[in-house]
């Protein structure tokens, strides 16, 4: 079932820039009630290291409350025992214009998540499109203005990019990821201006995560992009979520925080260190619902 929670307060901004305007976001999240690391499907995961589910829940609740304080409309999908990565809601699909393009996961351990999220989309009245090709939702699909940036190389297949273009009616730009530590696009790019139709949307990204062709595309499309350090990327600092002014980021991504402030954004740091053990951060826990 869906749970919608109205905001109780608005976060106090540290700096305002006339060019930066917050917009209300609607998102889907999943409590990490069953979070643990019992298999290894990315370089961040190590089943030999202990995990603390209660700590993961407490850290997630801080992120959840941060969104409420920012005025977001937050929906919740029920977690399922045996699906520890379901907390990474961004991978559950890609939603645009009330169309929910379902996920089809690469690894068998996560494949049951796809139908679970599609069931939720259907119950909530979205136009659900069953995927024909392997894709991992907003993990590899990022809307920037009226264009969808799409990652491939580790998880989502490039033919899913063509499928999404046909379903959404939007231009989809393929970017190949080459660093296994940044296996989803949302670990290597942060969308700073998320409003569709934004006249000059900008991003932040890690150059070393892309091949030369992808870098040329990013440099041409986003000449004013923020380039993050390897250190900030290594704590999934780019795995962030913005409303156009407030940018929720990993608390340890200090240089990224500095650069955001210089550009007139309001960075808000949260600690998701326990969920990082599964290879996820702020954006991984956040699926945008665009009606």
The answer as to whether 3 is a domain residue is: no
The count of structural domains within the chain is 1
Helix (H), strand (E) counts: the chain: 7, 15
pLDDT confidence of residue 2: 44
pLDDT of 9 above 60: no
Domain residue limits at 189: 26-288
The answer as to whether 162 is a domain residue is: yes
Among 136, 172, 164, 145, residue whose Cα is nearest residue 42: 136
State how far the Cα of 116 lies from the Cα of 66, in Å rounded to an integer.
26
* pLDDT band of 19, cuts 50, 70, 90: confident
pLDDT confidence of residue 16: 43
pLDDT of 1 above 80: no
The backbone torsions φ and ψ at residue 177, rounded to the nearest 5 degrees and listed phi first, read: -90, 140
Active-site position among 30, 75, 184, 285: 184
Q: Please give the model's pTM, rounded to 2 decimal places.
A: 0.92
Residue 196 has which token pair?
Answer: 């569709």
State how far the Cα of 288 lies from the Cα of 272, in Å rounded to an integer.
19
Check if the beta carbon of residue 270 is closer than 8 Å to that of residue 285: no
pLDDT confidence of residue 18: 52
Active site residue 284: yes
The single residue listed with the structure tokens 């808000």 is: 268
Check if the beta carbon of residue 60 is closer than 8 Å to that of residue 84: no
Active-site position among 30, 75, 161, 284: 284
The answer as to whether 255 is a domain residue is: yes
User: CATH number for the domain including 110?
Assistant: 3.75.10.10
Active site residue 75: no
pLDDT of 177 above 60: yes
Q: Tens digits of per-residue pLDDT, 181-209?
A: 999 999 999 999 998 878 889 999 999 99
């Amino acid at each position: 079932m869906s749970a919608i929670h109205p905001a109780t307060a608005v976060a106090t901004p540290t700096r305002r820039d006339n060019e930066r305007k917050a917009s209300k976001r609607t998102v889907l999240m999943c409590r990490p009630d069953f979070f643990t690391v019992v298999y290894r499907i990315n370089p961040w995961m190590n089943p030999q290291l202990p995990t603390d589910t209660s700590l993961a829940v407490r850290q997630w609740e801080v992120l959840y409350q941060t969104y409420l304080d920012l005025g977001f409309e937050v929906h919740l999908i029920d977690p399922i025992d045996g699906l520890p990565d379901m907390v990474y809601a961004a991978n559950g699909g890609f939603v645009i214009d009330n169309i929910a393009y379902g996920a089809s996961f690469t690894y068998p351990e996560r494949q049951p998540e796809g139908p679970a999220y599609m069931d939720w989309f259907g119950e909530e009245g979205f136009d659900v499109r069953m995927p024909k090709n392997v894709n991992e939702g907003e993990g590899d699909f990022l809307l920037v203005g009226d264009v969808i940036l799409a990652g491939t190389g580790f998880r989502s297949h490039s033919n899913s990019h063509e499928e999404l273009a046909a379903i959404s009616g939007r231009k989809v730009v393929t970017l190949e990821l080459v660093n296994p530590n940044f296996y989803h696009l949302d670990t290597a790019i942060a969308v700073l201006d998320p409003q569709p139709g934004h006249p000059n949307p900008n991003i932040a990204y890690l150059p070393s995560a892309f091949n030369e062709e992808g870098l040329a595309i990013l440099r041409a499309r986003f000449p004013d992009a923020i380039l993050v350090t390897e250190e900030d990327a290594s704590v999934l600092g780019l795995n962030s979520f913005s409303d156009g002014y407030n940018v929720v980021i990993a608390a340890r991504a200090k240089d990224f925080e500095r650069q955001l402030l210089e550009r007139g954004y309001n960075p808000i740091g949260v600690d998701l260190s326990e969920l990082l053990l599964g290879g996820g951060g702020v954006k991984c826990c956040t699926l945008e619902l665009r009606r």
